[in-house]
Amino acid sequence: MKTVSVVVSVYNEEQVLEAFYRETSRVLEQQRQKDWDYELLFVNDGSQDGSPAVLGRLAAANPRVKVISFSRNFGHEAAMIAGIDYSRGDGIICMDADLQHPPQCIPEILEKFDEGYQVVSMARTRNESAGWFKNLASPAFYRLINLLSDVKLESNASDFFGISRKVSEVLKKHYRERVRFLRGYVQNVGFKKTVIPYEARARAAGKSKYSIRKLMRFSVNTILCFSNLPLKLGIYAGVFAALLGVGVMVYTLFTRGGAPSGYATIVVLNCFMFAILFLIVGIIGEYISILFAELKDRPIYIVEDTENLESGGNLPE
Ligand code: UDP
Ligand code: MG
């Protein structure tokens, strides 16, 4: 019998955890009667509410529920990475704890695994709970990243996806970056891949953990780790400034001696040029901060405690 590992990242989700477990375990138990056994891996990303207690109860009642607790909050992606690291299934499904990713899709994903697909990407057709800002900004962001980088990311991909054991080995071994975009990697490792559309439901309870500020940071990081085109802005700006200089020179020569006083022109040009210069220095700074983070090689996450996991799973190294 094959096993599926369902990885769920949890950060302050006490209000939805029970409902999530009820719905998901029902679907998984039905599958177990047929052909897929399961393990339900909750990654507690440093929750400060009652989530750890709820998870402890669930793990005590069902040995297939496993819990990995971080020493502090490391972020959603780190939680998914830890879940993938500790998973032992033949197939792995990552999903959110807030029931936005319907557990009813799990059998469909398993069917795709049975058909030999290695990457099952779940595409959102509608997002009921995202506000107007997210709904506008998200497609714009994907258009920008596809323009800037040579990888192609699907615009409605989500953190809901299924991968085979083989793909998870690749992620474990070769994608250990500190600044990263897991969803993008999953779409770009290759392998036999398929897309299933699904309708994202509204969050069952609780609040979204992603503020607009966090999303901006996330977007900038994604562009930086998938593209080095911004670094070349300096070259384009240099060419532009040189051409402008030649233009102004020619103009001055032709107006022979009678050049206009041009105080405003000088000030405006100066400000404009410095703005470009500082912008480019800032962009280089962003890349250096990524290099710095990679160089320090700090852990992606720190595990404080686990439940129902005897030997620490299938960890890299
Ligand atoms: N999450 C996490 N760590 C964080 C933030 C969020 O593990 O620092 C989890 C959260 O518990 C949820 C999932 O990541 O299961 C997605 O978060 P959320 O629903 O807040 O994001 P949204 O769906 O609004 O984009
Ligand atoms: Mg959500």
Query: pLDDT at position 258, please?
Result: 66
Instruction: Look at ligand 1, atom 13, and give the residue with the nearest C-alpha.
Output: 96
CA distances from 223 to 116, 279, 281 (A): 32, 16, 17
Please work out whether the CB of residue 101 comes within 6 Å of at least one atom of ligand 1.
no
Please work out whether the CB of residue 46 comes within 6 Å of at least one atom of ligand 1.
no
Query: pLDDT at position 107, please?
Result: 93
Tens digits of per-residue pLDDT, 84-110? 999 988 999 999 998 889 999 999 999
- Using the predicted structure, report yes or no on whether residue 69 has a pLDDT greater than 90: yes
CA atoms within 13 A on the CB side of 103: 21
Closest ligand 1 atom to the C-alpha of 97?
15
Q: Which secondary structure element, helix H or strand E, spans residue 2, and what is its range?
A: strand 2-10
Centre of ligand 1 to C-alpha 13, Å, is 9
Tens digits of per-residue pLDDT, 109-136? 999 999 999 999 888 876 666 677 777 7
Query: pLDDT at position 129, please?
Result: 61
- Using the predicted structure, report yes or no on whether residue 219 has a pLDDT greater than 60: yes
Centre of ligand 1 to C-alpha 155, Å, is 19
Query: pLDDT at position 130, please?
Result: 63
* Domains delineated in the chain: 2-226+298-307 (3.90.550.10)
Q: How confident is the model at residue 142 (pLDDT cuts 50, 70, 90)?
A: confident
Instruction: Look at ligand 1, atom 2, and give the residue with the nearest C-alpha.
Output: 76
Q: How confident is the model at residue 38 (pLDDT cuts 50, 70, 90)?
A: very high
Query: pLDDT at position 186, please?
Result: 81
- Using the predicted structure, report yes or no on whether residue 272 has a pLDDT greater than 70: yes
Centre of ligand 1 to C-alpha 52, Å, is 16
Query: pLDDT at position 311, please?
Result: 61
Query: pLDDT at position 114, please?
Result: 92
Task: For the chain, give the percent of residues with pLDDT over 70.
Answer: 94
Centre of ligand 1 to C-alpha 160, Å, is 12
Centre of ligand 2 to C-alpha 99, Å, is 8
Centre of ligand 1 to C-alpha 261, Å, is 59
Residues β-bridged to residue 157: 123
Residues β-bridged to residue 161: 94, 121
Please work out whether the CB of residue 98 comes within 6 Å of at least one atom of ligand 1.
yes
| pTM score, whole prediction | 0.78
Tens digits of per-residue pLDDT, 221-235? 888 888 888 888 888
- Using the predicted structure, report yes or no on whether residue 249 has a pLDDT greater than 90: no
User: Ligand 1, from 24, 70, 76: best to mutate by most atoms within 8 Å of Cβ?
Assistant: 76
- Using the predicted structure, report yes or no on whether residue 317 has a pLDDT greater than 70: no
Q: What average pLDDT does the segment 301-312 reach?
A: 80
Contact call for residues 92 and 7 (beta carbons, < 8 A): yes
Please work out whether the CB of residue 133 comes within 6 Å of at least one atom of ligand 1.
no
Please work out whether the CB of residue 76 comes within 6 Å of at least one atom of ligand 1.
yes
Tens digits of per-residue pLDDT, 160-201? 999 999 999 888 888 888 887 887 788 878 888 888 888 877
Q: What average pLDDT does the segment 287-300 reach?
A: 87
Closest ligand 1 atom to the C-alpha of 46?
3
Residues β-bridged to residue 124: 198
CA distances from 306 to 17, 66, 270 (A): 18, 7, 59
Backbone φ/ψ region at 272: left (φ over 0), alpha (ψ -120 to 50), beta: alpha
Question: 235 vs 261, which has greater pLDDT?
Answer: 235
Question: 240 vs 151, which has greater pLDDT?
Answer: 240
